[in-house]
Structure 1
Amino acid sequence: MTILVTGAAGFVGFHLTNRLLKEGFNVIGIDNINDYYDTKLKQDRLAILEDYSNFTFYETDLADRYKIENLFQNNKFEVVINLAAQAGVRYSLENPNAYIDSNLVGFTNILEGCRNSKVKHLLYASSSSVYGANVKMPFSVHDNVDHPVSLYAATKKANELMAHTYSHLYGIPTTGLRFFTVYGPWGRPDMAYFSFTQKILNEEPIKVFNHGKMKRDFTFIDDIVEGIVRLIDKAPQPNKDWDRKNPDPGTSYAPYQIFNIGNNKPVELMEFINTLEELLGKKANMEFLPMQAGDVEATYADIEDLQMKVGYAPSTTLKDGLAEFVKWYRTYYTN
């Protein structure tokens, strides 16, 4: 089987591609290697992947329609996993056009590629951010998510709607994956756990928003990858019990489904910081600030649908996962 992974030099894309290559899949990876964060980190991830003979990489931007068309015309993909996106809630306040280009225009090009080449299964990254103003916990894929609080979240919600349309019109099986606060080795420097580690070690103050009164469903990268891999051969089927008078947002009469992939155990931000301090052997100098625009107070994944579909639930504890990250960070940044 040949699988296309977009965003292969990114955090989740790198780990997923590495796993697929180890399992013997042929993987074609694309990434635009943009400078949203340190490109050296992306190049170093790629260097690991390029050691595999069953990996081919193209530096390509999703928003480049003609390059994406050529990619699909020149290759036969049974499965496409779209992980390329402009990430980050806060950056969407500064550079909204980056989100339109990558997350909307780019995703349209992927959908068109899947349609024209009759891809058997499209899996794509959504985000826990789509829950926006929802406060009913845990967040369920069967709840409406019509009130995003950031442009990033709005583009991810739009991806789900766009995927549904293509499932309806063209019968393409599409699976949306709502990731919850992913962390781990080779992570993204713009994420709190990464920047906190850097600043604590450098004895610089860390910014603690909403005065520390936040909860996140931190999910270790290996658990995210396991969930994706288990879903690859589980292309969604139309839900025969779907009721147009009482529509279920998580499934459809079309071959379309949404899953949360989260640890199902929200952790308070202060507990997270204390755990990181313990692992680093250093105390944090904290600057307490109000809630930042586009943020939410808490995330908490209901993973019942994932468990029912593939018999899997993420299980890595925060302490174990952070220990893996700290070990990698110390190694990577001292070499």
Structure 2
Amino acid sequence: MMPKHFLTLLDLDEGEAKRLIRRATELKQLRQRGEDYRPLVGYTLAMVFEKSSTRTRVSFEAGMSQLGGTAMFLSPRDTQLGRGEPIEDSARVLSRMVDAVMIRTFEHETLTRFAEHSQVPVINGLTDRFHPCQLLADMQTYVEHRGSIRGRRVAFVGDGNNMCHSYINAARLFGFQLCIACPPGFEPDPDVLATAPDHCTLMHDPAEAVEDADLVVTDVWASMGQESEEDQRKAVFADFSVTAAIMAKARPNALFMHCLPAHRGEEVSAEVIDGPQSVVWDEAENRLHAQKALLELLLAPQPGSEPPAY
């Protein structure tokens, strides 16, 4: 039987996604109460990093430890992947030795090729095209603060990057309306946008996108691998900073999210990210809990009740 992978949000159906979000909050509460819950004793997660990370590495490593398992960090400097071994061969070998593989890499094709030849679940820790684990944490955070996101209005301001693509998938899966504001030439990939015509609106005015939004999201203007474009992008994106004036266009109880790391004074002002509408620290913590729920789902699935109404 083929393993269940998590390469994009759409590898979950609506019921699985709802149960996973609910389970993430349950696991968070278990930890807050100090209860010992270790369903993954004897399990090993290989973590393959071609891109550097803070939150992804710490949350997966801590999560596996808290669930009773072991996480193994692998970088290109330490493995044959960095010396030209075919991805397919690495997948065949690694998946005979561990119980799951998390990959954080550049090209999405690297991830999909690995998954095609893996005997165990493969998790997308980030690619240039999608960042689905972050969206699990974002959805958990919104539900914890405001309840159901179905039918809500979400504004994404900035580059049409992997986070934007993942918000497009989330709009389909969780049933909200997404307004995307990008500078001309920096829109999300048309093929991704075309998958959610009933849920997404593309525009070039951040104030218009944020109007009456329940959630405002942004990301850095230059992602890893785009450092040489940083100065050019600062000029292009100068009018796409989420400032207090922009947030004032949203609903009074709107939340602000950013996947971090953030550059205060660029994509977001310090007043916003450090202000009362910001939930970025809860959002960052929830990477741990959402990924624990994901690992439990992929490695130790438990029979569950019907998904909640949200």
**TM more than 0.5:** no
**Greater RCO, 1 or 2 (C-alpha within 8 Å, sep 6+):** 2
